[in-house]
């Protein structure tokens, strides 16, 4: 939308605002197939930056990329009982190929544990083959009935890591290494603070021993699960006969982990930083970190200004700053500002005749504040510092907002009151009973987001379950969630 239509404000209708900013920034569009989404170039560019960041981090931990098929024999899914039960309602199944009915239907992968571990069974023989650490960047299909752009779509893009280890301790350590990696990525790249913790049995991945997650709080105070890391134990190894000869000579089952984040993170980014003018992309993930808008009236001015803008453009690009020169003719600077603002570009440089004469540029920040004039001399360094501080400011602001919308030491009454008002993260004691957890979910729509890691736990340990009053076995974090 290149028109000057005002966006719905976040305060008026967060959900309408979310859809409008995505459309305005041209991140995605609805597809002819219900529940599916088209990721447009501006949205895909953010995903590519995310991929780049994550991929580098995975490789630091020795993970290699591979690719496994989209189609999985249906029988594979039934080999792990809990797994098939968890995914059966969401499966898309191919029954015909080449005009003929298939002997065995093929499932479009909802996740790839089964096909990957069927291959690991072939590739792993000895403890020397372990750990086996692989990741794939792929699409998956889960037949969702209620969909929302980026947050919940029938097909989405993600990465799924799958590893095999000699023992439980090694698998658990790797599960937690990835959890820490996800947290680092969320905070350092997305400027999105997260809490880490373990899922309850009701929320854990179908077929896993333990599921860990990173959880973020969006601006509407709903939680968003941003990534999960599972210790699968030996469940899949037993289902697919993934065995190895141990150092001691015995034949053992491997221990597996799997972990993933998806294009859902783009939605999380929008809902963490966007304002009433559109999205705000943290500099580390921006397609363009800097956009240059030349300002001129006469043809003569145009030539001078464009030449200067071109020089600045080249210099910034060669300094490794993702820069775009918006030299479109016949478009007023104001219209360009509006467009780049909606797309969330962190920094905008304006160059007019007076700036050229003075050897300066005018800098405007997407996060607001007064425009400032800077010399073109040493500009790359200036902009780097600006981007570093913007990246930090975005993280700090999001963390402050999350803490302002968190409540600790809840009782049933204060919890209900909290949800009635604005909601957010509610920390309290839990008896550990799944029945209690289910009752809360049914009555309030709030779920246990995680049993928080020590760093996030309250100083004062809760002693009773906030809902039923029985003895608490742990602290839990509740919220309504996406």
Sign of torsion over alpha carbons 407, 12, 365, 218: positive
Among 465, 476, 477, 479, binds Zn ion (CB under 5 A): 465
- Least Å from the CB of residue 463 to Zn ion: 12
Q: How many residues bind Zn ion (CB under 5 A)?
A: 5
268 binds Zn ion (CB under 5 A): no
- C-beta closer to Zn ion: residue 114 or 200: 200
Tokens linked to 136 = 């794939």
Question: Binding marks (x or -) toward Zn ion, 154..183, rule CB under 5 A?
Answer: ------------------------------
- Least Å from the CB of residue 215 to Zn ion: 21
Tell me which stretch binds Zn ion (CB under 5 A): 167-175, 251-259, 399-407, 468-476.
468-476
Tell me which stretch binds Zn ion (CB under 5 A): 224-232, 238-246, 362-370, 458-466.
458-466
Question: Binding marks (x or -) toward Zn ion, 382..421, rule CB under 5 A?
Answer: ----------------------------------------
Tokens linked to 121 = 């069974």
Per the rule left: phi > 0, alpha: psi between -120 and 50, beta: everything else, 236 is: alpha
In sequence order, which residues have a C-beta less than 8 Å from that of residue 101 and are 6 or more positions away? 95
Tell me which stretch binds Zn ion (CB under 5 A): 43-51, 62-70, 154-162, 427-435.
427-435
Cis peptide preceding 131, ω within 30 of 0: yes
Tell me which stretch binds Zn ion (CB under 5 A): 11-19, 34-42, 362-370, 461-469.
461-469
Among 436, 441, 453, 481, binds Zn ion (CB under 5 A): 436
Secondary structure (DSSP) of 224-283 = EEEEEEEEEETHHHHHHT-EEE-TTS-EEE-EEEEEEEETHHHHHHHHHH-BTTB----G
What are residue 282's DSSP bridge partners? none
Are the C-beta atoms of residues 181 and 229 closer than 8 Å to each other?
Answer: no
What are residue 351's DSSP bridge partners? 294
What are φ and ψ of residue 415, in 5° steps?
A: -65, -50
- Least Å from the CB of residue 464 to Zn ion: 8
CA dihedral 167, 170, 171, 174 (to 10 degrees): -170
- C-beta closer to Zn ion: residue 76 or 430: 430
467 binds Zn ion (CB under 5 A): yes
312 binds Zn ion (CB under 5 A): no
Decide: residue 264, CB within 10 A, 0-12 exposed, 13-18 middle, 19+ buried: buried
Among 217, 237, 431, 479, binds Zn ion (CB under 5 A): 431
448 binds Zn ion (CB under 5 A): no
Q: Which residues bind Zn ion (CB under 5 A)?
A: 431, 436, 465, 467-468
């Amino acid at each position: 939308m290149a028109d000057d239509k005002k966006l719905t404000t976040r305060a008026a209708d967060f959900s309408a605002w979310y859809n409008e900013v995505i459309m305005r920034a041209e991140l995605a569009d609805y597809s002819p197939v219900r529940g599916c989404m088209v990721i447009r170039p501006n949205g895909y560019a953010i995903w590519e930056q995310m991929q780049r960041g994550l991929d580098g981090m995975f490789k630091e931990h020795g993970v290699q990329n591979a690719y496994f098929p989209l189609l999985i024999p249906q029988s594979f899914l039934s080999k792990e009982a809990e797994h098939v039960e968890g995914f059966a309602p969401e499966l898309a199944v191919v029954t015909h190929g080449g005009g003929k009915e298939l002997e065995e239907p093929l499932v479009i992968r909802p996740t790839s544990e089964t096909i990957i571990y069927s291959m690991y069974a072939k590739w792993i023989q000895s403890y020397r083959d372990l750990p086996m650490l692989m990741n794939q960047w792929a699409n998956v299909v889960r037949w969702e009935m209620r969909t929302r752009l980026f947050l919940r779509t029938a097909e989405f893009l993600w990465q799924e890591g799958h590893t095999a280890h000699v023992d439980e301790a090694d698998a658990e350590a790797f599960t937690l290494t990835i959890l820490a990696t996800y947290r680092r990525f969320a905070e350092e790249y997305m400027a999105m603070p997260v809490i880490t913790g373990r899922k309850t049995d009701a929320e854990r991945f179908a077929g896993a021993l333990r599921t860990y997650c990173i959880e973020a709080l969006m601006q509407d105070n709903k939680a968003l699960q941003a990534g999960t890391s599972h210790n699968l134990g030996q469940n899949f190894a037993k289902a697919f006969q993934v065995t190895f000869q141990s150092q001691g000579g015995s034949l053992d089952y491997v221990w597996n982990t799997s972990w993933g984040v998806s294009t859902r993170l783009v939605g999380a980014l929008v809902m963490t930083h966007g304002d009433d003018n559109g999205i705000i992309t943290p500099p580390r993930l921006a397609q363009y970190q800097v956009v240059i808008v030349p300002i001129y009236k006469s043809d003569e001015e145009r030539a001078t200004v464009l030449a200067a803008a071109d020089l600045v453009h080249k210099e910034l690009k060669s300094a490794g700053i993702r820069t775009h020169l918006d030299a479109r003719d016949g478009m007023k600077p104001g219209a360009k500002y509006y467009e780049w603002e909606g797309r969330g570009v962190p920094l905008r440089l304006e160059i007019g005749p007076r700036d050229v004469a003075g050897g300066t540029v005018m800098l405007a920040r997407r996060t607001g504040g007064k425009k400032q004039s800077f010399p073109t001399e040493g500009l790359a360094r200036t902009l780097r510092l600006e981007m570093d501080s913007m990246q930090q400011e975005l993280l700090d602001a999001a963390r402050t907002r999350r803490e302002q919308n968190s409540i600790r030491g809840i009782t049933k009454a204060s919890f209900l009151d909290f949800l009635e008002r604005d909601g957010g993260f509610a920390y309290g004691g839990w008896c550990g009973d799944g029945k209690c957890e289910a009752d809360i979910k049914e009555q309030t729509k709030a779920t246990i987001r995680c049993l928080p890691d020590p760093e996030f736990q309250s100083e004062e340990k809760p002693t009773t379950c906030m809902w039923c009053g029985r003895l608490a076995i742990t602290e839990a974090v509740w919220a309504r969630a996406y």
